[in-house]
Every structure is written in structure tokens, then in C-alpha cells.
Amino acid sequence: MPASITLNEIELLDKNDPLADFRSEFVLEDGLVYLDGNSLGPAPKAVFEKIETVMREEWAGGLIRSWNDADWFKLTDILGDRLAACLGAVKGELVVTDSTSINIFKALHAAAGLRPERNVIVAEGAGFPTDLYMLEGALSTLPGYSARLEGVDGDHLVDLIDQSVAVVLVNHVDYKTGRLRDMAAITARAHEKGALVIWDLCHTAGVVPVDLNGSRADFAIGCSYKYLNGGPGAPAFIYVAKQHQAAAKQPLSGWWGHANPFAMQREYQPDASIRKFLCGTQSVLALQAMDVGLEIFERADKHAMRQKSMQLTDLFVALVKEHCGDYGLKLISPEDAAERGSQISFSCEHGYEIMQALIERNVIGDFRAPDILRFGFAPLYVRYADVRDAVFILKDILDTNFWKEPRFSKRSAVT
Ligand SMILES: *Cc1c(COP(=O)(O)O)cnc(C)c1O
């Protein structure tokens, strides 16, 4: 990608984009540059009618009958099988349920239980906080276990894996830097040492090709409100490789994971299938909304998505370097697009204020403490022209010191 790309060249890129038509399937107002699909995907236009229909026909009309007649009781599996097919897994290996945090807890316990003679869990010291917090919580319920953290106990995750390690919990893409890990290679290294791996796909599901079976992944979890456009707080997912399902146990033994929930037995008897990873009643409306985002992803060419995502991020980096190079923005994402997910992050002293100024000027990215400006490039709706517009607005904010206006330093609860 040439650094000084012309307006005509940008137009041509958008014109020749095989994914261009997907943008019209989302609600995105004119003039808004949305670079935060890595935090919350936009609303698909089809979701309004879908939810209205579900509410009127299935809830209001069908009432309790809809658990059977509208397949409400099976939505976790129906959506799970469809998502599995997009992530390189097979039917019966994945369910859409609960939140990522809760699924991390289930996966940690299940994986640890499969390696009972070991007591160390390896994770990333700079991983997403909830992953570490859930690990802490899981450790408090696993006497004798301890954590070994990359960046704390050693520099490289794979070097921390030895014969004492039961489980490795690792992000496919790092939420701060956007760095992409090699799923097949890390899984193979862990397996050589006899450990199991839980992959956190929050920043890859829906945007970076994932091949769970091809990578021999043991467990995976992830959310659907980011690149899968499932809606705020949309249900997450958990994948458990077929070969682990018979022996795996998870501690949140609610009735939905029971082999026969409506037998109303006194004792818990886990389902033999992936359904043992369910806990209790799910939000049907949230599952039905997630269906709409998933349906769009199912239709998209995953290879074209990756190609465009790499081009968008390359273009952004090149243009920021060219036009905003004097302002101390430091690229903390890998230079090589093949080594990163679909986001670009810069560290910058006044990152918070600069991001607030960008948002006021209709360029929405986000800020991650302590000093990171984070921009997500979802190839289904971000255009090459958006990348260019974002850079010129950023340049203007920096050139004019607009970000120094006092209102931009006021902190909100969610950044
Ligand atoms: C977004 C994200 C989560 C979110 O967890 P919730 O339980 O949905 O709040 C967890 N882990 C990672 C790596 C994330 O990026």
C-alpha cells in the first residue's frame, strides 16, 4: 500500500471491494466512521423485524409452547452448530450460551479436570482482565493449583509450559496490541508437554479465520457482541473438542446441562453432549438477535474478509505515519498485517483526550488504559474511504490542538 494514496485510488479500492454490499446491512449513519466493532458491532438492519416477530409471534402468541414449537430450548445448539461451521469445528462441539467470563470459568475447570495429576495454569500476565480475574476465581476453587503468567514468570508463553502444566489459557488476538497468536503452533507445543489449551476468540471470531479442529484446539470461548454483531451483551460461546466431551466436567451444574432436565430428578446427571456446558435458562431474545449477526457472517467470504481487514489496517498505519507522524503516536500493533488481528493500536500520552475529541468528530474508536488508542477495522462495513477520513480528522485534531479542550479530559465509566 503506497503511503501517499490518492482519493481516486481509495475510491477504486471501495469500488472493487467484494464485500462492499455488506455495509448496507448495518445501521450506520452517514458521516460516522465506526472503528469500534472490536468492542460492539453495529446493529444489523434485519434485527428489528426479527425481534419484533419473535416477541409478537413466539412470546406473545406462542407463550410457553414456544420452548418446543419455536425451538427456544435448542437455540443454544442450533446457533452453536452454525457458529462451529464458521470456526472450523463440527456439529455438537460448540454452544452459544452465558457470557465469556462464565465460560472461561467452566473451561478452566473442565480442562484442569482432564489433567488431574498437574496443578499449574499458564496465562498471559497482560491478558484481558476478566480472563485473569476468572482465573483467580477458578484458582480459589482449585486447591493446590497456581498460575504461571507470561510477562511475570517468563517472557514467552510457550517457555512456561512444562510437565506440571494442566491448562494454558491464551487469547488468539491480544485486546491491546492486536497481536495474533499461532493457534496450531501453540496448541502443538502445549500438547507436546501434555497440557491442554483454552483459546479466547473474543477478538478473532467473526473477523480472523479460525480453524479449531485444524489447529487441534481443546477448548475455546468467545463473545458474539464484537465482530459477530450479536448485540450488546449478546450470548457468548464455548467450544469443547469432541474427544474431550465424555470425560469433561464443568462445575456450574445447572438444570440446562442435565441429561434430562424435565425428569426433575434430585441428582445432577450431566448430559453426554456439549449441552453439559449449559447452566440455566438463556435469554431467548438475546439469542435470537445474535442469530441475525451470525447469519450475515455465514454468508461472507472469510478469505475476502481477512484480505480486506489486512489492507484496511495497512492503509491506516501508512496514512497515520505519513500525516500524523510528528505527534508521538507509537504503533504498538505488529507492523506485519499477518501477525495481527483486525485492529490497530497506538500508545500516546494524551490518548484519552484525543479519543474523546475523535468521537466528538464522529470517528469512534476506543481508549484502553493507560494510554492506548484502539481502532477496530471490521471488513464487513468499514470502507477504505473511512480509513482515510479517520486519519484526516485525527490529523486535524492534533494540528489544531482541538483535543486540549477541557471537556475531553472528563472520564466516563466506560472508555
Ligand atoms: C470482550 C472480552 C471479554 C468479555 O467478557 P464478558 O464476559 O463478555 O464481559 C472477555 N475476554 C476478552 C479477551 C475480551 O476481549
Task: Write the DSSP string, 200-268.
Answer: E-TTTTTTS---TTTTT-SEEEE-SSSTT---TT---EEEE-HHHHTT---S---GGGBSSGGG--SS-
Q: What is the pLDDT of residue 412?
A: 85
Give the residue among 387, 224, 209 at the shortest CA–CA distance from 304: 209
Give the residue among 346, 347, 340 at the shortest CA–CA distance from 310: 340
Q: Of all protein residues, whose CA lies closest to atom 2 belonging to ligand 1?
A: 202
Separation of alpha carbons 82 and 159, rounded Å? 36
Could you check whether the bond before residue 370 is cis, i.e. omega within 30 degrees of 0?
yes
The rounded percent of the chain whose pLDDT value lies above 70 is 99
Q: Is the CB of 171 under 6 A from ligand 1?
A: yes
Q: Is the CB of 38 under 6 A from ligand 1?
A: no
What atom of ligand 1 comes closest to residue 131's alpha carbon? 11
Confidence of residue 257 (pLDDT cuts 50, 70, 90): very high
The per-residue pLDDT for range 138-154, each reduced to its tens digit, is: 999 999 999 999 999 99
- 226 is an active site residue: yes
Q: What is the pLDDT of residue 163?
A: 98
Ligand 1 center–CA 223 separation, angstroms? 7
pLDDT over 70 (residue 67): yes
- 404 is an active site residue: no
pLDDT over 60 (residue 1): no
Separation of alpha carbons 368 and 28, rounded Å? 24
Residue of 226, 306, 340, 383 marked active site: 226
Residue of 148, 374, 388, 395 marked active site: 374
- 225 is an active site residue: yes
The per-residue pLDDT for range 299-350, each reduced to its tens digit, is: 999 999 999 999 999 999 999 999 999 899 999 999 999 999 999 999 999 9
- 237 is an active site residue: no
Q: Is the CB of 119 under 6 A from ligand 1?
A: no
Q: Is the CB of 203 under 6 A from ligand 1?
A: yes
Q: What is the pLDDT of residue 3?
A: 54
Q: Is 147 helix (H, G, I), strand (E, B) or coil?
A: strand
The rounded percent of the chain whose pLDDT value lies above 90 is 97
User: Is-contact 394 324, C-beta < 8 A?
Assistant: yes
What atom of ligand 1 comes closest to residue 103's alpha carbon? 7
DSSP-derived secondary structure letter, 267 = S
The per-residue pLDDT for range 356-413, each reduced to its tens digit, is: 999 999 999 999 999 999 999 999 999 999 999 999 999 999 999 999 999 999 888 8
Query: Ligand 1 pocket check: which of 97, 175, 366 to mutate, most ligand atoms within 8 Å of Cβ?
Result: 175
User: Is-contact 269 258, C-beta < 8 A?
Assistant: yes
Question: Model pTM?
Answer: 0.97
Separation of alpha carbons 20 and 16, rounded Å? 8
Q: Is the CB of 372 under 6 A from ligand 1?
A: no
